[in-house]
Amino acid sequence: MAGSREIRRKIKSIKATKQITRAMELVSAAKMKRAVNHALGMRAYASTALMVLSHLADKTHPDLHPLLEVRNSTKRVLVVAYSSDRGLCGSFNALLFKKVVEHEKELKQEIPGIEIDYMAVGKRVGEFLARTGRNVVASFTGMTNRPSLQSTLPVGKIALDSYLEKRYDRVVLVYQHFLSALFQKPTAFQLLPFSTETLIEMGAELNLFKHINQNIKEEGEEYLFEPSADVILEELLPQLTQMQLFQAVLETTASEHSARMVAMRAATDNATEMMSDLTLHLNQVRQAGITREIAEISAGKIALGL
């Protein structure tokens, strides 16, 4: 009987856990749908803006704006890494951390002696960077709960100001790019300086420009600015750069909710399987008890000569 009570207690506990994971799965599915709509809705605008930025860098005189300046060497890099604030999303954050480490190794192999600082967007990546002894210049949380352009403005200000003041020669974004509910791709993308080569490589890898009928490599004349290049570029370049940072938040949010939905679905399925196994075991224990009682009764009857 003690064994039966223990099994029933386990079944009850697993049933409660299943109800929680099922509820979390449904909540994540609803949040995922909204986040995916936002990410996909912004993706066409963000990728077109990225193409404009790269064309401006290639076809506009670099003296017109500091963001168009071509620097001769790279000594310091700022990596903006995006993650979730909460767990229970499978390998979502672990894959992101792996990408951060891989990209750091690539940078150090490419440029020996390079200095790398990090800006953490998300509680989990901030904890990882601090735990592994990497230099974190800024940390932000809560952006993936309800992502908005306004909430990402401090990130963009730090990144842009640091680059314009030449504290860093390169700004890189590392985030999870949403591909489907079952698949997210850890991505490292060079935001600054603008590079058509980087744009083409990233676009081909992630299929970003399928909606654009224009050849990204096509040659053309320099842009004509009205009323003046200074006025337009001063407004346009920071805004378009900020859009890339906001798009990374949207992609991260959609990927996070997708990963959590899949993880909670797997947990629910595992709980169902465990309950089935424990129920079968309970029935076997009960049957064994009944058989033992019948055997004892029969033995007693024989002993009494009945």
Residues 103-121 have pLDDT tens digits of 999 999 988 889 999 999 9
Q: Per-residue pLDDT tens for 217-256?
A: 555 556 676 776 677 777 778 888 888 888 889 999 999 9
pLDDT at 213: 44
CA angle at residue 146 from 143 to 150, to 5 degrees?
Answer: 65
pLDDT at 99: 93
pLDDT at 203 over 70: no
Q: Per-residue pLDDT tens for 19-53?
A: 999 999 999 899 888 888 888 888 777 777 777 77
Q: Per-residue pLDDT tens for 163-181?
A: 988 899 889 999 998 988 8
Give 209's pLDDT tier (boundaries 50, 70, 90): low
Q: Which domains does the chain have, with CATH numbers?
A: 2-22+267-303 (1.10.287), 26-260 (3.40.1380.10)
pLDDT at 36: 87
